[in-house]
Amino acid sequence: MGLRLYNTMGRKLEDFEPITPGKVGFYGCGPTVYNYAHIGNLRAYVFQDTLTRVLRYLGYAVSHVMNVTDIGHLTDDADSGEDKMVLTAEERGQSVLDIARFYTDAFFADTDRLGILRPSVVCKATEHVADMIELIKRIEANGHTYSAGGNLYFDISTFPDYGKLALANLDDLKAGARIDVDGNKRNPHDFVLWFTKSKYENHALVWDSPWGRGYPGWHIECSAMSMRYLGERIDIHTGGIDHISIHHTNEIAQSEGATGSRWVNYWLHNEFLVLDKGKMSKSSGSFLTLQTLVDRGYDPLDYRYFLLGAHYRSQVAFSWESMDGARSSRKNLVQRIARILAAEGSAAGGTDAAPTHAEAVAALPAGSPALPYLERFREAVEQDLSTPRALSELQGLVRDQAIPPRDTLVALRAMDATLGLSLLAAAKESAGADQQDDPEAARISALVDERNAAKKAKNYARADEIRNQLKAEGVILEDGPSGTAWRRA
Ligand code: AMP
Ligand code: ZN
């Protein structure tokens, strides 16, 4: 069937065809490093990572580029407000670069804990100002700019496709525009390419440019850095849905204004994670970080598991109850996989290898009962990354006792690497612990299996007998959607 992706440009599912066969150039908007990432932000990066992993599973060589915004992102995406980095630096009495370094490290510590692979290229805005200046010169040479009040603006009236991604046309934008605080703009949706004048005279980081000493607008960094590392036409660009109307709309105007041709083939956007109470924001006091979850006793991968249980284009409401559900399902899977590993012998244990679909199929004997699971898993991820369906195929595979353990492990290794859940690694750890430190665990797991088999055979008397025996020993059974997990009381 082949990979199909939902393209925000045009709002429809499309067959994926890379520019160069077998290769994918992918740019994902990265963090603004003035604070910790909240768990909503982290959803955007789990999504980027899942996309990379799925593309690799399908056999593509992926070049994934991510920017780190360490200058120029104002508190309002449309040029008003203050520079987020400068504001934090002033509040803390530290330099902008110190703040950037600290929160960049914190960001990657979080993404590592979530099993997010490091992008092929991580590029910082402050290290690419020369690229931005060169790109702005091209935009200027093509007649898309004007200077006013010391700043250089992009004139959206010169770019007829402005607003196409957001399904807003130029006339509507002009007619419906709200009053903007910046009186220099001819149209309120014009945006700054280069600032020389700002409310804060002593801006910490400034560069010389043809338009005077100053600093770049926020949007230009993504256009300039993606072109530096991926060329003037790229396959995929991602971000959260909040980026559609301003940031990505402006990125397109700049990039295509400079090159005169189409820039991105597929625009993919993840929906938001919301709290029960509504939007998560850094100012509202409802700011949950990955560390908040860890402090409450969750494994970061419980959060990844929770996220993958929803499609990336569905809004997800965060709750502690859902986190409990994710934790218990993941634990249950890990326990089952540990038993499969034990049955197969340690030689078949998890490795770091991430086989492609074709490699996994080739490693299975013809007619293996694991094959249909692997095929349905591939179909699920090919259908615009349907991780809920992919996850349920993984669960079905692990639960199916008709499959020889070796085959289960071959298919599982590919699925696990594609979802980035490290289930095999966790199972290997717990299997080792079972044998060395806790021989009781193996006995209990065997009883749980026997109880499930008894239930399946409608031998409820035996099933209850086992539950009661374990209860008397202080072992609690939790039946969940993916089977039974046990824990000591
Ligand atoms: P920022 O650091 O604010 O530029 O945001 C980083 C990424 O997180 C961007 O791709 C945003 O679109 C995305 N994002 C922000 N808030 C949320 C949320 N609540 N849920 C999902 N993604 C979000
Ligand atoms: Zn961007």
Complete DSSP assignment for 394-417: HHHHHH-TTS-HHHHHHHHHHHHH
Does 240 contact ligand 1 (Cβ within 6 A)? yes
The per-residue pLDDT for 349 is: 45
Q: Are 55 and 120 in contact (CB under 8 A)?
A: no
Q: Indicate whether residue 28 lines ligand 1 (CB < 6 A).
A: no
Q: Do residues 216 and 194 make contact, with C-beta atoms less than 8 angstroms apart?
A: yes
Say how far apart CA 479 and CA 489 lie, in whole Å.
15
Return the H-helix or E-strand segment holding 139. helix 129-141
Which of 68, 242, 284, 318 has most ligand 1 atoms within 8 Å of CB, for mutation? 242
CA of residue 303 to ligand 1 center, whole Å: 16
Ligand 1 atom at minimal distance to the Cα of residue 243: 12
d(CA 129, CA 114): 31
Task: For residue 217, give the ligand nearest its CA.
Answer: 2
Residue 361 vs residues 245, 282, 375, 384, 414: alpha-carbon distances, Å: 42, 46, 9, 22, 10
Alpha-helix residue ranges (DSSP H) falling in 180-242: 220-230
* Pocket lining: 268 vs ligand 1, CB cutoff 6 Å: no
Q: Which amino acid is at 387?
A: T
Task: Please tell me the distance between residue 44's alpha carbon and the centre of ligand 1 in angstroms.
Answer: 6
Mean pLDDT by groups of 10 residues along the chain of 489 residues: 96 98 98 93 98 98 96 68 78 86 96 98 97 98 96 96 89 59 87 81 81 93 98 98 96 98 98 80 73 97 98 96 97 96 66 87 97 98 98 98 96 98 94 63 80 87 90 82 67
Tokens representing residue 243 in the block: 């980026």
Residue nearest to atom 19 of ligand 1 (CA): 40
- List Cβ<8 Å contacts ≥24 apart for 443-450: 444/470, 444/475, 444/486, 445/335, 445/338, 445/339, 445/486, 448/477, 448/484, 448/486, 449/339
Using an 8 Å Cβ cutoff, are 360 and 366 in contact? no
Structure token digits, residue 136: 């702005």
pLDDT of residue 172: 67
Ligand 1 neighbour 31 (Cβ under 6 A): yes
**Whole-angstrom Cα distance, residue 378 to residue 390?**
8
Q: Tell how far the Cα of 43 is from the centroid of ligand 2, in angstroms.
A: 16
- Alpha helix (H) ranges present in 268-319? 290-295, 300-308
DSSP symbol at 365: P
From the CA of 28, give the closest atom in ligand 1.
10
Atom of ligand 1 nearest to the CA of 280: 19
Q: Is 463 in the pocket of ligand 1 (CB under 6 A)?
A: no
| Angle (nearest 5°) at CA 390 between 165 and 9 | 10
pLDDT value at residue 197? 78
What per-residue confidence (pLDDT) applies to 275? 87
pLDDT value of residue 291? 97
**Measured from the CB, is residue 287 less than 6 Å from ligand 1?**
no
Nearest ligand 1 atom, CA 274: 19
Supply the pLDDT for residue 456: 83
Is the shortest distance between the CB of 29 and ligand 1 below 6 Å?
A: yes
Q: For residue 449, report the phi and psi dihedrals to the nearest 5 degrees.
A: -60, -40
Q: Quick check: CB of 84 below 6 Å from ligand 1?
A: no
SS3 239: strand
Closest to 397 (Cα-Cα) out of 420, 381, 428, 375: 375
Q: Residue 67: nearest ligand to its CA?
A: 2
Q: Is 448 in the pocket of ligand 1 (CB under 6 A)?
A: no
Ion ligand 2 neighbours, Cβ < 5 Å: 29, 222
Nearest Cα residue to 379 out of 58, 13, 7, 61: 58
Could you tell me the pTM of the whole model?
0.87
Q: Which domains does the chain have, with CATH numbers?
A: 20-270 (3.40.50.620), 438-489 (no CATH)
Of 288, 356, 347, 351, the residue nearest 323 (C-alpha): 288
Q: Whose CA is nearest to atom 21 of ligand 1?
A: 272
Q: How far away, in angstroms, is 241 Cα from ligand 2 center?
A: 12
Please report the sign of the dihedral spanned by the C-alpha atoms of residue 396, residue 402, residue 406, residue 410.
Answer: negative
Atom of ligand 1 nearest to the CA of 30: 6
Query: Distance from the CA of 13 to the center of ligand 1, in angstroms?
Result: 23
For ligand 1, pick from 27, 33, 41, 165 the residue to mutate: most ligand atoms within 8 Å of CB: 41
Res 178: pLDDT: 54
- Contact in structure between 333 and 423 (CB atoms under 8 Å): yes
Q: At what angle do helices 439-456 and 423-436 cross, to 10 degrees?
A: 120
The pLDDT score that the predictor gives to residue 177 is 54
Exposure letters 302-314 (e unless 16+ CB within 10 A, then b): bbbbbbbbbbbee
Q: Is 272 in the pocket of ligand 1 (CB under 6 A)?
A: yes
Q: Please say whether the beta carbons of 478 and 486 come within 8 A.
A: yes
**Ligand 1 contact via 43 beta carbon (within 6 Å):** yes
Rg (CA), the chain: 26
Question: Helix, strand, or coil here: 122?
Answer: strand
Dihedral angle, C-alpha 118, 121, 122, 124, nearest 10 °: 180
